[in-house]
Every structure is written in C-alpha cells, then in structure tokens.
C-alpha cells in the first residue's frame, strides 16, 4: 500500500504545486463519483450485536462468530487492493474514465498495480465499472490481468449503493503473480461479492469458488441486516467431509437486535439429496445456549426457550 502523506506535506503541497504550475489540485466533483463507487468496509462488512464469546457460549454461536470473522477478513483482503484508489487523486482523468497508477506493488516490487474506473450515467443513475489490474514491471499494456472486477450503481439518497466485486485469484496466479504467498487464498479460484445498502435489509452475498483440488470446493455466505439490528448469516460449503462423504453443509444463523439468536446446521449428502439437521443451538443475550440439540442426543431443555 502507499503510505499516507504527512501533515506538513498536506500543507505545503498546494503551495508548492501552485508555484510550480498555473493551477493544480485534486478538487473535483467528478472524482467524488469515482470515490463513492468503491466499496468500503461498511459496504461489505457483516455485523452482529454480540461480539464476545465465553467458555460456555453456545457452540453454533461461536461458529457464527467465526464465520463472520472469516467473512470480514476476506472482505478486508479484497478491499486492500483498492486502497490504492481511496485517498489518492487519479493519475489520469479522461472524461468518464479515471486511472490510478501504475503503482509498484509494495509487497512485490517487480509487479505493478493499476485501477481503472469508467463512469456512465443512465437515467440519472450513476453506474461505475472498475477493475484493478496487475502486470510485471516492464511489460506492455497487454500484460495487464485483472485481480478485481467490480461494478457500482448509485440510487438517489444518502450515499446508498449497490454493487458487485470479484476477486480473481486464479487469473493472476496463472499470470505468475505470487498470490499464494497469502495462505488465506491458496485454494481460492475466485470470490464474488454482491452488496446493496439501498434498502433494508442490507445484504451482502459472498460466493467462494475454490480450486478443484481443495477439500472444500465452494462456499457461500448470505448476510442480511435489518434496521433494528437483527440479522442473519447463512453459510454453505460444498465439499468432502472428513469421513469422505460428498455433500453440502449449511448453517443458518439469525439473531435479534438484542443479540439473542439461533443457528441450525444441516447436512445434505450429494448421494441422497436428503437434508439432515445435525444440530440446533439457541442462545440468549449472554451467548450461553438456552437450548441445544444434536443428532442422536436428547436435548436437556425445551425448544420453547428458542426465540425463533
């Protein structure tokens, strides 16, 4: 990433550039459109009302928190690649196109990064398409490969937006970029995110497609957030279990604005297609299970204690 300028640079820069040129700066209304088109952590982040865990917290509550942490971690990784754009003026302004870079990659100086954004206004709706590209230093324009591809649509209101962004790990891996140095993406083929915060419920969907060699072949997170703080997170994984059974595991977790919630784990073997509920946990605001069900184990409390 590029380091932020010091305060003294911020003060001196306008003076230096004004004396060096007739006019200079990044004061632009158009640039605002481009800046707004980029998703930030708030757009993609999943949030729960309860964030603490304790030794006696419900197991599925802990699993939900873990899934949300993973989800947000992947979102952070994704957004890190477009931080080159956020906070810096474009290198080129060509009408409805802005280009940032090429910048040298901080981690891999032999590679360059550039971000290209194209704006279109359709029926008073602002639409953006962007891609973040990589290429080895010294290569021509044809060597650019996209690591990120995204789009954005803005509706009237207070910065609401909806968009998509895809992280194309396998594409840059094939081009020679050492993306596998990050252990979190070793098995990743690509990751697609769709988000919208125009109306409630705010939704973020993250679809993960791993390489064929991975034990877990694909996964999907569906996050929803209501205005009162209640929400849900469904995460589904396709793959092979430790006992070598092919199928999908789906955990459906939802909670109230108070944080109390419920999660159900369902496994569907590919062979039969018959879903089996493996377990259910309900928890209160203390995160401790008020009801817990596991396959073949008799619950000690009544499911009536569950809020859902």
Partner 1 sequence: MSKLRSVARAGPLVALLFFGAPAGAAVQHRFALIAGNDQGGADTQPLRYAAEDARKVHAVLTQLGGVAPTDAVLVLNQSADELWRALGGMEARLAEAKQRGERTVFILYYSGHAKDGDLRLGESRIRLEDMKARLSAAPADIRIGVFDSCRSGIVNRTKGARRAPAFAIEAAGSEETRGLVLLSAASADEDAQESDEIGGSYFSHYLVSGLRGDADQSRDRRVTLSEAYAYAYARTVADTAESAAGAQHPTFSYDLKGNADLVLTDIASRREGIYVPANAPAGIYYLVDANGFIAAEVQKAIDGDRQIALPAGRYRVRRRLADRLRIGDIHIATGQLVTLDETSLHDAAFSDDPVKGVHREPGAQISVSLGGTVQAFFDGPTRDGLFPPTGMVGLDVEVRDFFRRGWLWGLDLAGGGTHAQLDRYGTLLPFQFNELTAGTTLAAEWRLSQGSLDAFTGVRLALVVMSRKFDERTIPDQFFATFTPGLVAGLRYHLSRDFTFLVRGRVHYLLYNVDEDRSLGYWELNAGIAYDF
Please count the other Cβ atoms lying within 10 Å of the Cβ belonging to residue 41: 11
Considering the complex, what minimum distance in angstroms separates the CB of residue 136 from partner 1? Answer: 29
Based on CB atoms, which residue is closest to partner 1, 61 or 100? 100
Considering the complex, what minimum distance in angstroms separates the CB of residue 196 from partner 1? Answer: 15
Q: Which residues of 208-223 are buried (b: 16+ CB within 10 A; e: fewer)?
A: bbbeeebeebebbbbb
Considering the complex, what minimum distance in angstroms separates the CB of residue 194 from partner 1? Answer: 19
3-class state of residue 121 by DSSP:
strand
Considering the complex, what minimum distance in angstroms separates the CB of residue 193 from partner 1? Answer: 17
- Check: CB of residue 99 under 8 Å from CB of residue 114: yes
Q: Which residues of 167-202 are buried (b: 16+ CB within 10 A; e: fewer)?
A: bbbbbbbebebebeeeeebebbbbbbbbbbbeeeeb
Considering the complex, what minimum distance in angstroms separates the CB of residue 201 from partner 1? Answer: 21
d(CA 262, CA 293): 11
In 3D space, the residue among 57, 46, 131, 145 whose CA is nearest the CA of residue 97 turns out to be: 131
In the set 154, 162, 197, 292, which binds partner 1 (CB under 8 A)?
A: 154
Considering the complex, what minimum distance in angstroms separates the CB of residue 46 from partner 1? Answer: 18
Count of chain residues binding partner 1 (CB under 8 A): 38
- The residues in 44-103 that bind partner 1, with binding defined as CB under 8 A, are 86-89, 93
Stretch binding partner 1 (CB under 8 A), from 144-152, 158-166, 279-287, 292-300: 158-166
Q: Is residue 28 at the binding interface for partner 1, with CB under 8 A as the rule? A: yes
- In degrees and rounded to multiples of 5, residue 20 shows phi and psi of -85, -20
In the set 159, 174, 285, 295, which binds partner 1 (CB under 8 A)?
A: 159
- The residues in 255-274 that bind partner 1, with binding defined as CB under 8 A, are none
Q: Is residue 245 at the binding interface for partner 1, with CB under 8 A as the rule? A: no
CA 73-207-122 angle, 5° bins: 100
Based on CB atoms, which residue is closest to partner 1, 27 or 183? 27
Cα torsion through 58, 64, 69, 72, rounded to 10: -160
Q: Is residue 12 at the binding interface for partner 1, with CB under 8 A as the rule? A: no
In the set 27, 271, 272, 300, which binds partner 1 (CB under 8 A)?
A: 27
Q: Is residue 23 at the binding interface for partner 1, with CB under 8 A as the rule? A: yes
- Positions touching partner 1 (CB under 8 A) are 10, 13-15, 17-18, 22-33, 35-36, 38, 40, 86-89, 93, 121, 124-126, 154-160
């Amino acid at each position: 990433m590029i380091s932020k300028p010091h305060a003294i640079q911020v003060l001196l820069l306008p003076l230096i550039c004004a004396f060096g040129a007739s006019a200079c700066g990044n004061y632009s209304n158009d640039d605002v459109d481009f800046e707004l088109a980029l998703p930030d952590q708030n757009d993609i982040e999943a949030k729960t009302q309860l964030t603490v865990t304790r030794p006696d917290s419900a197991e599925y509550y802990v699993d939900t928190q873990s899934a949300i942490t993973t989800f947000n971690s992947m979102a952070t990784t994704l957004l890190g690649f477009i931080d080159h754009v956020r906070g810096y003026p474009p290198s080129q302004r060509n009408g409805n196109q802005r280009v940032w870079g090429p910048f040298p990659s901080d981690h891999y100086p032999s590679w360059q990064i550039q971000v290209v954004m194209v704006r279109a206004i359709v029926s008073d709706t602002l639409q953006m398409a962007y891609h973040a590209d990589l290429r080895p230093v010294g290569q021509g324009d044809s060597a650019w490969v996209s690591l990120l591809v995204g789009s954005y649509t803005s509706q009237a209101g207070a910065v609401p937006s909806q968009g998509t962004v895809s992280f194309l790990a396998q594409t840059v891996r094939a081009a020679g970029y050492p993306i596998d140095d990050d252990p979190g993406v070793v098995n990743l083929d690509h990751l697609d995110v769709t988000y919208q915060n125009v109306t409630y419920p705010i939704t973020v969907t993250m679809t993960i497609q791993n390489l064929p060699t991975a034990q877990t072949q694909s996964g999907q997170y569906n996050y929803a957030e209501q205005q009162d703080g209640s929400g849900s997170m469904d995460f589904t994984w396709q793959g092979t279990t430790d006992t070598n059974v092919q199928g999908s595991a789906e955990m459906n977790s939802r909670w109230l604005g108070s944080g109390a919630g419920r999660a159900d784990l369902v496994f569907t073997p590919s062979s039969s297609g018959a879903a089996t509920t493996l377990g259910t946990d309900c928890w209160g605001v203390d995160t401790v299970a008020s009801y817990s069900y596991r396959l073949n184990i008799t619950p000690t409390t009544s499911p009536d204690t569950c809020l859902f």
